[in-house]
Structure 1
């Protein structure tokens, strides 16, 4: 099924991606109540190939899990698997590893991701 914009034309790929990522956002970063330590097993709809278990105490694995969940997770996955404090601490690097549209949606919705306070964490 092709969706159409109010002008009658099909939406651009950028508009589709923006809408996809925006529809999954939590109401606030405080809603991100995922674990801060231990091993997390991602559901198959999030990690449909490759690694599914991530040790949050290993920075590279944690970064990989956050990248995967941000890109593939549903709203419920974001709030249950991501941790607010870890996201804020990792965002300066993580933002360079995620797709541009995803980064833009998150930074537009949550200015605290790009504030001076979050980059000092």
Structure 2
């Protein structure tokens, strides 16, 4: 697989290093073309992370109507809102470092949070 195929993994590992330790670095503002490339790689694989979830999951990148993906079908989905890097971090288990918002009904958000914390 080429570097582009590993882009999401490289970015997540890079952020792991940046955000670790006693003085973690804040999230970076990435150029639009890099965000688009990360989204293009992450969005199709997002179902692999969320398909077993007990609720529908809709991924949304603020200010980018084309960057929206239903990662798991279901009525009354929870929207995971954040930039592509934060979406990838959250889905890949770095929930303490990822800066996303969970939006939706209180019950659905709680069901997703409970499911994620049990993983």
Q: TM-score, normalised by structure 2?
A: 0.29
Instruction: Looking at secondary structure, tell me which structure has more strand per residue.
Output: 2
Structure with more of its chain in helix, by fraction = 1
Q: TM-score, normalised by structure 1?
A: 0.29
Q: Say which structure, 1 or 2, has more relative contact order (CA 8 Å, 6+ apart).
A: 1
